[in-house]
Structure 1
Amino acid sequence: MSGSHPFRVLRAKPLWITNGVITGVLALLFTVFYVGANIDPAGHMKHLPVGLVNADKGVAVGGQRVDLGARITGSIQRSAAAGDKIDWKVLDEREMKEELGKGKLFGALVVPADFTSSVTALTGPAATGTPARPTLTVLTNQSAGSLGSGLARTATTLAAEDASLQVGKELTARIGTARAKLPAAARLLLADPAAVTVEDGHPLGSHSGLGLTAFYYALVLVVCGMLSANVISGQVDHALGYTHNDMGPLRLHRPLIRATRVQTLAIGSTLMAGLSLLMGTLIMAGAVGIMGMDASHLPLLWLYSVCAIAVSGISALTLLAVFGTPGMLLVTLFFIAMAVPTAGATTPIQALPGFYRFLAEFEPLRQITGGIRSILYYGAQGDAGLTRGWIMMAAGLVAAGLFGFGVLGWYDRRGLHRVPAETKPGKTAVPA
């Protein structure tokens, strides 16, 4: 037994260097993933989908057909002000409502049916009283993400205001000197004829967290799966006798039960699958039953929750089994550091830098959030994110199984067991 004082280990340079490198890299990576993804959403925004609806019926003026709604929507599409930041989707009202109801649009701009008739009335004989100002409606969609909806609202409102000014210039030029004969109120409105109003295009319940309950619910599922994997991994090792189990001042130890690495992962995965039933039930009961979260399709929500926890947990167990102690760092980076900024919940995918958009294609939290959002906000429609969520969870489970059992099987075949086989006295122990 060494007589050195325990605190002498603090003099060991490798202890400082190893831990310094690990903690320093973690700090840098978390900063890059969290701050880098959200530092300039408006600047990185590209092809944010926004609906553009022209419901204007037009009118006949002086024997000619006038359709100011078509001019406005055409002007908005041709405008270079937004560059490629907004992807204007020309739709009719029915299509627009369907797309908002699937979370495929972050907002919309609607030109009403009476827009042309209301504008032309400003310059007609009826413009002697108080003129009625036509309205362009900006629709928001918080269910698709509050920040994304806000970005769409800002861009759409500016587009509507610019379009109104452009129409005003055209009308002023067309009537020429006749403008002087109009009432003062009509002349004032003629320069900027359209009012812009903002409405909620896909209203949510008051207990929907302004469209964020889906993200936080999904985050709970992933974190429970990830942390449970760490607990289960340690408890399985203790049950098999590979490690001690410290309970306060007590140290518990069980007799060693030899198990291959493949068998150990299979035991842990079975436990995770079974306990996911319990965790999924309690999470839904807590969120919906106790906290009062707005939710429908409860049987589907429960099943999806259980599967999400199981897939996240088994994937985490795989990384822990394959990489050992560093596996927990990889689990944290994959399921938390890279996942939260790319989930599309706060910052939309279209407002992320390119590298983060790439991560969002396969990061599990984004896929799980899409499915939960579909169940909570969009009537569990498959093309609103639910189908993709199921497919990506299945793909993740298959990938984890192939990778985990494949690598661990190779470890076992090479004799890289966790405890060397017992040997006869006088002989050197070699891996079994």
Structure 2
Amino acid sequence: MSGIHPFRVLRAKPLWIANGVITGVLALLFTVFYVGANVDPVDHMKNLPVGLVNADKGATVGGEQVNLGARITESIKKSTAGGDKIDWKVMDEKEMKAELGKGKLYGALVVPADFTSATTALTGAATAGTPTRPTLTVLTNQSAGSVGSSLARAVTTQAAESASLQVGKELTAQSGTRQAELPAAARILLVDPAAVTVEDGHPLDSHSGLGLTAFYYALVLVVCGMLSANVISGQVDHALGYTHNDMGPLRLHRPLIRATRVQTLAVSSTLMAGLSLLMGSLVMVGAVGLMGMHAAHLPLLWLFSVCAIAVSGIGALSLLAVFGTPGMLVVTLVFIGMAVPTANATTPIQALPGFYRFLAEFEPLRQITGGIRSILYYDAQADAGLSRGWVMMAVGLAAAALFGFGMTGWYDRKGLHRIPAGTEPEKTAAPA
């Protein structure tokens, strides 16, 4: 024993500098990733997909066929007021419902079939009673993300109200001197003829967390894989005798079993794949069985969950094997720091700055969230995110294997063994 008091290490500048740099960079990066992605989604919004449906059948007015719905949709489509923030997609009702049911639209504006007839009726001769006010319907889609749905609702409602005022100006100009013959209520409605109503375009079960259960379920899968990788890596090192294992006041140590870095990663990955079966099962039991989360296609949900944990875990193990002790920081940044803001769950990708949109193309949480969302909300439709989820998990697994085994194999060939030949780790006896 050296006889130096342990607290004297606090005088060492390298200790403060090294830890200060690591923790400072970590704090800065998390701030940039989380706050930077969400600080101004409206300003960063670009091409948010919103449906535009004209179901109006039109009406004959003064011997001419008139379709005010077509005027409204054409005006909104050509309008430059929103710039490129909204990508208006003109479609029929069937296409709109299908796109909402796949999470490809964040909302829609629907002009009903009787819009022209109900609107032009306001300019008719004076009649008793209150005229029937035509409606424009704004549809929301919480299943695609609550923030994205809210952004789409705000812009679509504004567009509907502006369209109503424009139609009111046209009708007022056309009615001319006949306005004096109209009931007072009709003259008031003529200025702003359409009522704007808001409805849920793709209703979810009450146990769907307002469209967020898919995100949180996917986050649990990624966290399970990431944290399990850290545990498994440490336990495999202990089983091979490379590290001690502290259990309370006891320090346990096993005889050294020499293993190459490739062999160690192979053992850890095999253990992760096997335990993913257990973890995936327990996650589903906890979410669906204990917490009552609404879910369909349970066998598919179980399989996807197991694979998501396995891929996330093996990816994290590869990073730990290549980078060593700093690997856990890299794992945290890749699977949590950069992943949560780009998951297309809390904030839509279309409302993220360009750098975050780039990250979203390959970040694992976004791909897993899309697959889980398809299973839970969209009847497991392949083009609702499920196919992309499977493909990207396969790509991620291949990339992790190539990177992990490629780098550890290179370490082995270069003789960069964990314990040089002829040396043994220090033996520490457990206290009596």
Is the TM-score greater than 0.5?
yes
The answer for the alignment partner of 1:387 in structure 2 is: 387
Distance 2:128 2:159 in 1: 30
Instruction: Give the drift of 1:126.
Output: 6.4
Instruction: Give the drift of 1:76.
Output: 0.8
The answer for the alignment partner of 2:206 in structure 1 is: 206
Note closer, same or farther for the CA distance 1:10–1:261 as it changes in structure 2 (3 Å cut).
Answer: same
| Contact 1:128–1:182, Cα closer than 8 Å, also in 2 | no
In structure 2, stretches of 5+ residues that fail to align are 424-432
Structure 1 SS opposite 2:53:
strand
Kindly provide the amino acid, as one letter, of the partner of residue 321 in structure 1. A
TM-score, normalization by structure 2: 0.97
Distance 2:229 2:332 in 1: 12
Note closer, same or farther for the CA distance 1:127–1:51 as it changes in structure 2 (3 Å cut).
Answer: farther
The answer for the alignment partner of 2:346 in structure 1 is: 346
Distance 1:299 1:106 in 2: 29
Say whether 1:61 aligns with 2:61.
yes
Deviations 1:63-110 (A, max 9, x none): 111000001111111112211111000010000000000000000000
Structure 2 SS opposite 1:81:
coil
Deviations 1:182-205 (A, max 9, x none): 110000000000000000000000
Computed over aligned residues only, the root mean square deviation of the Cα atoms, in angstroms, reads: 0.8
Deviations 1:254-277 (A, max 9, x none): 000000000000000000000000
The answer for the alignment partner of 2:122 in structure 1 is: 122
Alignment of 1:259-408 (within 5 A): 259-408=259-408
Distance 2:225 2:317 in 1: 9
Kindly provide the amino acid, as one letter, of the partner of residue 349 in structure 2. I
Kindly provide the amino acid, as one letter, of the partner of residue 19 in structure 1. N
The answer for the alignment partner of 1:238 in structure 2 is: 238
Distance 2:125 2:70 in 1: 24
Instruction: Say which is worse superposed, 35-44 or 302-311, in terms of deviation.
Output: 35-44
Structure 1 SS opposite 2:198:
strand
Structure 2 SS opposite 1:121:
helix
The answer for the alignment partner of 1:34 in structure 2 is: 34
Distance 1:149 1:338 in 2: 23
Kindly provide the amino acid, as one letter, of the partner of residue 92 in structure 2. D
Distance 1:181 1:392 in 2: 66
Distance 1:37 1:130 in 2: 49
The answer for the alignment partner of 2:150 in structure 1 is: 150
Instruction: Give the drift of 1:129.
Output: 3.0
The answer for the alignment partner of 1:91 in structure 2 is: 91
Structure 2 SS opposite 1:392:
helix
Instruction: Say which is worse superposed, 255-264 or 57-66, in terms of deviation.
Output: 57-66
Structure 2 SS opposite 1:257:
coil
Instruction: Say which is worse superposed, 123-132 or 338-347, in terms of deviation.
Output: 123-132
Deviations 1:364-410 (A, max 9, x none): 00000000000000000000000000000000000000111111111
Say whether 1:189 aligns with 2:169.
no
Kindly provide the amino acid, as one letter, of the partner of residue 35 in structure 1. V
Distance 2:124 2:247 in 1: 87
| Contact 1:121–1:127, Cα closer than 8 Å, also in 2 | no
In structure 1, stretches of 5+ residues that fail to align are 424-432
The answer for the alignment partner of 1:251 in structure 2 is: 251
Say whether 1:172 aligns with 2:183.
no
TM-score, normalization by structure 1: 0.97
